Amino acid sequence: MSDRIYFGTDGIRGKVGENLINPEFVMKLGWAAGKVLAGQGTNKVLIGKDTRISGYMLESALEAGLSAAGINIGLLGPMPTPAIAYLTKTFRSEAGIVISASHNPYYDNGIKFFSADGMKLNDKIEIAIENQIGKPMECVASDKLGKAVRIGDAAGRYIEFCKGNFPSALSLKGLKIVVDCAHGATYHIAPNVLSELGAEVIEIGTEPDGLNINHKVGATSMKAVTESVIKNNADLGFALDGDGDRLMLVDHKGNVIDGDQIVYIIARDSLKRGRLQGGVVGTVMSNLGLEVALGTLGVPFVRSKVGDRHVMELLRQKGWSIGGESSGHVLNLAAASTGDGIVAGLQVLAAMLYADMTLNELSRGMTKYPQTLINVRFAEGTKPLEDKGVKQAVIEAEKALDNKGRILLRKSGTEPLVRVMVEANDAQDSSTWAEYIANAVRKVTD
């Protein structure tokens, strides 16, 4: 990623009106992407967005830039990120562009790209687009300008795709499910998918106004869905994030089921039905309980760097299909080309029905280790991870935990923070040793 000026691990993201997320830059980005993609195939690009108010402005800017480069545009309107990946592939488009900042507040936004195969753009194309941005913007001849059309049946197509990932022999009839769409891009998708498969659906977070996306709802704020599950005596709750690529669940007792547990449930069901391809990929932040639980099943487990992009890279490298992050990004390449919250939820529901178990019972197969995470800010010019005192603190903690826990120190990729994470059998040990190491880091930064 060091060769990039604009693209991060998940596209380009920032505060609206500042830095890169402004009309001028986004139009130039659209033009640059169009120039790189022009003539490679269908000469058509799809644009979708979440429900942020800034989506209108950025959509128009991208449309103008792409048209100036001679690219035709299909406008999808508010659609989940995984839907745009799917539709890009089915429409045989050159690329799909998502306007979204995922789980961030409304005042942030971002741009990310999918290739013709529904995967994130490869490094070479991203770098080519960056190089093009540095060139003067030119407009093609009037008769070569790109045209824009609105694709009216996009939501219906994606709903059918989601339903197609649920076994036709099963039905959700008799299940009461709370669905929290975070006032985001799944607001008109997820409730319909579940109700059409037979569930009784209770909706929350399905009234977007451009400003309320992810605000006290969704996968990053579980209180609303948890309270609704208990209040309505529901069987479980879905909590999606603003762009629909992340899922967290709540069982009928109000317990939060995170991404690690979802990955475990899907992997175990795939194994039982003879469909598991190889092993499972997690990240360095995945709970040790996932690794232990999969080990008891004889399922290989490896860790990637943080970020679903890195999980995807390792899955493809190994030829495996299932992976994810504790934050709720769940990948199953046998079903979708990218992380898809709705599809992951349907796979959990299928596992429940096949096993004739509640979500609570299914999740008991994995015991989460108590985990303590402390963020310590460090001063510019200091190198806390190389400090002898910090290294000694880690050695002492590892000796005390005696192979019954896990320690991770890493720098944040976006802020001057050292993340200190300790997992242990005992919650007090986890907390005590995390604070001990964090104090050693603080001494360096002070």
Question: Exposure of 383 by Cβ count < 10 A (0-12 exposed, 13-18 middle, 19+ buried)?
Answer: exposed
Q: Is 102 a catalytic residue?
A: yes
The neighbour count for residue 18, using CB atoms within 10 Å, is: 10
Marked catalytic residue, from 67, 93, 100, 102: 102
Bridge partner list, 240: 247
Provide the angle, in degrees to the nearest 10, between the axes of the packed helices 81-90 and 341-355. Answer: 100
Q: Kindly state the DSSP code that residue 139 receives in the 8-state scheme.
A: P
Alpha helices in 43-104 (DSSP H): 54-68, 81-90
| Secondary structure element (H or E) that encloses residue 162, with its range | helix 154-164
332 phi and psi, to 5 degrees?
Answer: -140, 95
Q: Kindly state the DSSP code that residue 1 receives in the 8-state scheme.
A: -
Nearest to 259 by CA among 190, 158, 340: 340
Residue with tokens 């992340």: 246
Task: Please answer whether residues 83 and 190 qualify as being in contact, where contact means their C-beta atoms are separated by less than 8 angstroms.
Answer: no
**How many residues make up the chain in this entry?**
446
Please state, in angstroms and rounded to a whole number, the distance separating the CA atoms of residues 128 and 35.
Answer: 10
Helix, strand and coil percent figures for the chain, each rounded to 5: 40, 20, 40
DSSP 243-260: TSSBEEEEETTS-EE-HH
Look up residue 293 and give its amino acid: A
Please state, in angstroms and rounded to a whole number, the distance separating the CA atoms of residues 414 and 342.
Answer: 28
Please state, in angstroms and rounded to a whole number, the distance separating the CA atoms of residues 417 and 376.
Answer: 5
Instruction: Catalogue the active-site residues.
Output: 102
